[in-house]
Amino acid sequence: MKNDWLHRIASYLKWRLQVKSWRTVHSPWLFKLLQHMRSDALESEPIEALRAKLRNDSTPVPTVDFGAGSTGTINTVSGITRHSLKRKKHARAMAAIAMHIKAQSALELGTSLGLTTAYLAEHASQVWTMEGNPHIAELASNHWNQLDLQNIQMAIGPFDASLNKLVEGIGALDLVFIDGNHRGDALRKYVSQIEPYLRKDGVIVCDDIHWSKDMELAWNALCLDPKWTLKVDFYEWGLLTKNPGLKPEFRCIRF
């Protein structure tokens, strides 16, 4: 635990030394994307009103160990909202990516309470999302009903059990957001399972790339793979695309 914290501090300082402002970007594709990501025009009032309500909801939620059933530990909706969900700025950034690449299909690994899913659903034609905890999945489903979103399909169960079949069924993916099971070997495996189905100008977002030494090593290895042209490290998450129209480059950017 202490080692993870030391790692995150060191890795943040290293990122700070490499980071550039979004204004220094030359690629028109990336510059335009960053403008969308920074704009609050994509903020959704109904989703943010729901987030504010959930922050104060003390309903208990059983946690699940994906290998061995319920651990018996109880979390609360409020705890999950405060500590597990992508913050507003980053959820909005996912919506901006979906809009920028005109995503027909988006896939999220790690639904949680479904708020980032909702942002994706407002800007992609169809969204698939995967969640291993059935108690959380039920809450997410209720939230999409409240928000009147009809274009979300959820696969409930461990990623490892259904990812292959799901991506095969979807066929062509524009945007994938990997936000669960933050282990380096899992990240590499999910990216290699998804990559054959990613459209040539599609995007994969990997969350928590500096969370642990192990995750950072996996992210670094992905960045060294020449199949990815543009690689962007936003510290909390990283973006990969094979888009052949873009100059191969790696960047650390603050937005």
Ligand X SMILES: C[S@@+](CC[C@H](N)C(=O)[O-])C[C@H]1O[C@@H](n2cnc3c(N)ncnc32)[C@H](O)[C@@H]1O
75 near ligand X (CB under 6 A): no
Among 115, 166, 178, 194, binds ligand X (CB under 6 A): 115
Site for ligand X in 166-185 (CB under 6 A): 179-181
* Residue 67 · residue 137 · CB < 8 Å: no
Structure tokens of 46?
């109904």
202 near ligand X (CB under 6 A): no
CB of 108 to ligand X, least distance (A): 6
229 near ligand X (CB under 6 A): no
Among 96, 106, 122, 131, binds ligand X (CB under 6 A): 131
CB of 115 to ligand X, least distance (A): 5
Query: Cα–Cα distance between 93 and 116 in angstroms, integer?
Result: 10
Print burial letters for 171-199: b (CB count within 10 Å at least 16), e (below 16): eebbbbbbbbbbebebbbbbbebbbebbb
The residue count for binding ligand X (CB under 6 A) is: 19
Distance of CA 169 to the CA centre of its chain: 21
Across-strand partners of 231?
240, 250
212 near ligand X (CB under 6 A): no
193 near ligand X (CB under 6 A): no
Strands 126-131 and 152-156: parallel
Kindly list the residues in this chain that would bind ligand X in the complex (CB under 6 A).
66, 84-86, 108, 110, 112, 115-116, 130-133, 136, 158-159, 179-181
